[in-house]
Amino acid sequence: MAHTQSAKKRIRQTIARTAVNRSVMSRVRTLRKKVDAAVEGKDKDAAAAAYNNFASAIDKAAKRGTVPANRAANYKSKAAKAIASIA
């Protein structure tokens, strides 16, 4: 167990940051599933609307460092490609 004040503070910070990051990633995953569901249903308008929400959330997550920028771009690219494949 930590003995110094700074080590104890770091533990508190890590717990708080982990909780925030977990919440953000849960929201991103949910929005990603909504995009996938709209693509499966072949509903281009719903997929586009879901993509806008997803892209916004993943960009915010990347901006604050929860997700690496390249991974965010990769997720957005795959989602956009899936939406474009709807005939």
Query: DSSP assignment of 62-82, as one string?
Result: HHTTSS-HHHHHHHHHHHHHH
Query: What's the pLDDT score for residue 1?
Result: 79
- Residue 37's H or E segment, with its range, is helix 5-40
Q: What is the pLDDT of residues 25-77, one digit of tens each?
A: 999 999 999 999 999 999 999 999 999 999 999 999 999 999 999 999 999 99
Query: What's the pLDDT score for residue 84?
Result: 96
Q: What is the pLDDT of residues 58-67, one digit of tens each?
A: 999 999 999 9
pLDDT at 87 over 80: no
Write down the pTM of the prediction: 0.87
